[in-house]
Amino acid sequence: MAIARAIAQRPEIILADEPISSLDPVSARSVLETLKNANEKYGITVVSNLHQLDYVLKYLLSMMETVQMAVLALILSVTIAFPASLFASRNTLNIIIPGNHRLARFLKNGIYTAVRFFANLSRSINEIIWALLFVSAVGLGPMPGILALGIHTSGVLIKLFSEGIETVQQEPIDALAATGAGFIKVICYAVIPQITPFFVSMTLYRLESDVRSATILGFTGAGGIGIFLFDKLRGYENHDVTTILIIIVITVAVIDRISAAIRTRYT
């Protein structure tokens, strides 16, 4: 009633301190809609102080969904990228397919070219394009976001992992192969120990990147906090946009600190 009386007097400015405190959600929305109409219809400047913890909780939960999307996408991409990178590196491919006869050369060239082509294709197409394709295929929600990030990141990691593998020292590989060890033992005991620090560092870097990318994929309907961010941007609800951006920045900063601690331990 106090707000209605104030609007009826047509003031130039309304100072509303906690106008929806202790109100139920329906009444709170009605009051906020009234203040919004006062600004849009009568040009009254509305300055309001709100503490809507339920909104913050909703955004935090959606941010958790975004992080979960990024983590699941990273698991998918590493599952694809690690074995694929062994076939995209000349030195490990020579271990898996030994020999230099015509058939061996044909197989190695064909597999190497196919894996490299997949890596180039998957990382050349932006995550948003992948998300739009998967949204049309599987519908709205987190799943298309996970698939989009997973496919794109797998291409990036295949390139990074394969280049890391090609820089390993050849002497341990030759020494173990000379003992008659199979390619699995050579890779497990001569290749992986050399590249583990690099793999961990690149994987954690992609996790940070995927969290940032996952916030944007919500613009396509692919789940996460990006859905709310896109909605609030369209409605010019800058106070909510600011809250969402603060949550995103804090989340990325926390992940960065955790990643730094893990890198320090394993690199």
Measured CA to CA, the distance from residue 54 to residue 43 in angstroms comes to 29
Quote the pLDDT of residue 94: 84
DSSP state of 142: H
- Residue 115's pLDDT is what? 93
> Can you name the residues that pair with 13 across neighbouring β-strands?
45
Shared domain check, 212 and 108: yes
Are 25 and 142 found together in one domain? no
pLDDT score for 71: 93
Q: Both 31 and 106 in a single domain?
A: no
Question: What pLDDT was estimated at residue 2?
Answer: 62
Compute the distance between CA of residue 230 and CA of residue 141 in angstroms, rounded to an integer.
15
State whether 159 and 31 are in the same domain: no
Tell me, yes or no, whether 15 and 77 share the same domain.
no
Sign of the Cα torsion 154, 160, 166, 168 reads: negative
Q: Output the pLDDT for position 155.
A: 93
Task: Please state the separation of Cα 175 from the chain's center in Å.
Answer: 41
Domain residues for the domain of 42 are 2-51
Residue with structure tokens 């590989």? 173
**pLDDT for residue 82:** 93
Q: What is the pTM of this model?
A: 0.76
Euclidean distance between CA atoms 42 and 44, whole angstroms: 5
The verdict on 26 and 97 lying in the same domain is no
Lookup: tokens for 12? 């130039």
Indicate if 31 and 147 belong to the same structural domain: no
Q: Are residues 46 and 156 in the same domain?
A: no
Q: Hey, what are 184's tokens?
A: 């699995």
Are 148 and 142 spatial neighbours (Cβ–Cβ below 8 Å)? no
Nearest alpha carbon to residue 74 among 169, 218, 207: 207
The distance between the two most distant Cα atoms of the chain, rounded to a whole number of Å, is: 94
Q: Do 163 and 139 share a structural domain? A: yes
Q: At what angle do helices 226-234 and 238-266 cross, to 10 degrees?
A: 150
Q: Could you read off the pLDDT tens digit of each residue along the chain, which spans 267 residues?
A: 566 666 665 666 766 666 666 666 666 677 667 767 777 776 777 666 666 666 678 888 888 988 999 999 999 999 999 999 999 998 888 888 887 888 888 888 899 999 999 999 999 998 889 888 888 888 888 888 899 999 999 999 999 999 999 888 888 888 887 887 788 888 888 888 888 888 988 898 888 888 888 888 877 777 788 888 888 888 777 878 888 889 889 998 898 888 888 878 776
Specify the residue for token string 């599952």.
Answer: 79
Q: Which of 34, 51, 68 is the last residue of a domain?
A: 51
CATH number of the domain that 91 lies in? Answer: 1.10.3720.10
Domain boundary among 32, 51, 70: 51
Instruction: Give pLDDT, residue 54.
Output: 67
Whole-number Å distance between alpha carbons of 161 and 156: 9
What does 65-121 look like in DSSP terms, one character per residue? HHHHHHHHHHHHHHHHHHHHHHHSSHHHHHHHS---SHHHHHHHHHHHHHHHHHHHH
Number of separate domains in the chain: 2
